[in-house]
């Protein structure tokens, strides 16, 4: 994908795509606000970790999917390390998405180009047909297919979908071109709530917003420069696990 519809990581050099990071849940959760054993029990019982994102525009609560454990555990690790605290939503596009997680944004000057920051590793893709880009989806940004044919995710940058509502006829055309067809529930979601179906199959969706969709919309509508960076900084004050 190219242009405004792209969620590729901007970079001055290619990531080393041979870097592989395997996450052991007990190691990643050792420093969590909740006891690591409690979180492991939570996951075994089928419950999902919930993260509260406190921003300068209001609060967003997200839920992480247990079916994408690599992304779930990595996100929890970064949250407990306070990695995201003070960073910006550095790319916001109305009717599309809001993107954050660039560590370089924390102390960035106004107008400085962002989107190149990383944590030195990428994540194995966990692209599942049951998790699509409907409004409120939480997904991982990544480099483009030309340098990243395995669709590996950024280790830290993420986006939340705002999207738009699609007519049934257009969704039928989307569905006709898919190998794995949308479920009736997914079709209904795209035609009532909206989303960005053209991203499905290309990026890992690993959670969704359960509270604060109005804040996501508010952030997506702010004035931006030619690089889609907000003219006034939209900052993540903190993230924390709230289960």
CATH number at residue 198: 2.40.100.10
Determine, yes or no, domain membership for 135. Answer: yes
Determine, yes or no, domain membership for 194. Answer: yes
Span 159-179, mean pLDDT? 95
Determine, yes or no, domain membership for 12. Answer: no
pLDDT at 218 exceeding the cut of 70: yes
Between CA 93 and CA 227 the distance in angstroms is 10
Q: Mean of the per-residue pLDDT values for the chain?
A: 88
In contact, 211 and 69? CB cutoff 8 Å: no
Q: Structurally, how many domains does the chain consist of?
A: 1
Residue 230: which domain range? 28-241
Q: Which of 2-6, 137-141, 158-162 is least confident? A: 2-6
pLDDT at 29 exceeding the cut of 80: no
Burial of 18 (0-12, 13-18, 19+ CB in 10 A): exposed
Determine, yes or no, domain membership for 1. Answer: no
């Amino acid at each position: 994908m190219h242009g405004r519809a792209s969620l590729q990581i901007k970079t001055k050099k290619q990531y080393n795509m041979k870097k592989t990071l395997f996450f052991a849940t007990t190691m990643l959760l050792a420093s969590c606000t909740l006891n690591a054993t409690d979180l492991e029990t939570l996951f075994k019982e089928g419950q999902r970790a919930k993260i509260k994102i406190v921003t300068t525009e209001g609060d967003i609560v997200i839920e992480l999917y247990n079916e994408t454990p690599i992304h779930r555990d990595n996100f929890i690790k970064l949250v407990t390390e306070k990695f995201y605290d003070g960073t910006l939503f550095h790319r916001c596009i109305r009717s599309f998405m809001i993107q954050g997680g660039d560590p370089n944004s924390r102390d960035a000057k106004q107008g400085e180009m962002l989107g190149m920051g990383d944590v030195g590793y990428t994540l194995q893709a966990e692209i599942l047909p049951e998790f699509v880009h409907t409004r409120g989806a939480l997904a991982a940004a990544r480099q483009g297919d030309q340098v990243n044919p395995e669709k590996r995710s950024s280790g830290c940058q993420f986006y939340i979908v705002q999207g738009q509502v699609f007519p049934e006829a257009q969704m039928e055309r989307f569905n006709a071109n898919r190998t794995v067809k949308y479920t009736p529930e997914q079709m209904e979601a795209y035609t009532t709530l909206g989303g960005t179906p053209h991203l499905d199959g290309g990026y890992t969706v690993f959670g969704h917003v359960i509270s604060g969709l109005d804040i996501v919309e508010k952030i997506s509508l702010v004035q931006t420069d030619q690089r889609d960076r907000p003219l006034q900084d939209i900052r993540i004050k903190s993230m924390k696990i709230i289960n």
